[in-house]
Structure 1
Amino acid sequence: MKASRSEFLAVRGLRYHVRHWGDADAPKLFMLHGWMDVSASFQFVVDCLQKDWHVIAPDWRGFGLTERAHADTYWFADYIGDLDAILDHYAPGEAIRLVGHSMGANVSTSYAGVRPDRIARLVNLEGVGMAASRSEQAPRRIEKWLDELRAPPTMRSYASQAEVAARLQKTNPRLTDARAAFLSGHWAGETSPGNWEILGDPAHKGISPHLYRLDEVLACWARITAPTLYIEATETDMGRWMGAKDSARLEIDRRIATIPNVTTRMVENAGHMLHHDQPEVLARMIEDFLG
Structure 2
Amino acid sequence: MVRAVSSAPETFRRVSFEVPGGRMAGIAFGAQTATPDIVFIHATGFNARTYRVLLEPLGERFHVLALDARGHGLTTLPHKLFSYTSWKRHRDDLIAVLEHFTAPVTLAGHSMGATISLLTAGVRTDLVNGLALLEPVILPAAAYAGSQLPFGPQLQRMTMPLARGAAARRNQFASREEALVGLTGRGIFKTFPAEVIADYVADGLVEDGAGGFKLACAPAFEAATYTAQRHDPWGALRKVTDPLVLLRAEKGSTISEAAMHRVAAIKADARVATVEGASHMLPMERPDRARAAIESAALMARQGRKYHDALVQ
CA contact (8 A) 1:144 1:207 kept: no
Pairwise CA distance, 1:138: 2.1
Cα distance in 2 between the residues matched to 1:268 and 1:211: 28
Alignment match, 1:100: 109
Alignment match, 2:78: 69
Amino acid at match of 2:173: Y
Residue 136 (structure 2) pairs with residue 127 (structure 1): yes
CA contact (8 A) 2:71 2:217 kept: yes
Structure 1 gap ranges (5+): 148-152, 243-247
Q: 2:215 aligns with which of 169, 174, 198?
A: 198
Alignment match, 1:181: 198
Pairwise CA distance, 1:158: 2.6
CA contact (8 A) 2:146 2:152 kept: no
What SS is found at the alignment partner of 2:248?
Answer: strand
Q: 1:164 aligns with which of 163, 179, 191?
A: 179
Structure 2 gap ranges (5+): 1-7, 159-166, 300-313
| 1:207-226 equivalences in 2 (<5 Å) | 212=230, 216-226=232-242
Q: 1:48 to 1:169 in 2, by over 3 A?
A: farther
Cα distance in 2 between the residues matched to 1:210 and 1:55: 28
Q: 1:18 aligns with which of 23, 26, 35?
A: 26
Residue 92 (structure 2) pairs with residue 81 (structure 1): yes
Pairwise CA distance, 1:61: 0.9
TM-score, length of structure 1 as denominator length: 0.80
What per-residue deviation string (whole Å, max 9, x for no partner) do you get for residues 69-112 of structure 1?
A: 253333421111111110111x23x2211111110110111221
CA contact (8 A) 1:224 1:260 kept: no
Pairwise CA distance, 1:195: 3.0
Alignment match, 2:281: 273
TM-score, length of structure 2 as denominator length: 0.75
Among the aligned pairs, what percent are the same residue?
Answer: 24
Once structures 1 and 2 are overlaid, which stretch shifts more, 172-181 or 115-124?
172-181
What per-residue deviation string (whole Å, max 9, x for no partner) do you get for residues 22-80 of structure 1?
A: 22138621111111110112201123337422111111111101114253333421111
Cα distance in 2 between the residues matched to 1:134 and 1:232: 23
| Greater than 4 Å deviation, 4+ residue runs | 207-211
Q: 1:258 aligns with which of 256, 263, 266?
A: 266
User: How large is the RMSD of aligned CA atoms in angstroms?
Assistant: 3.1
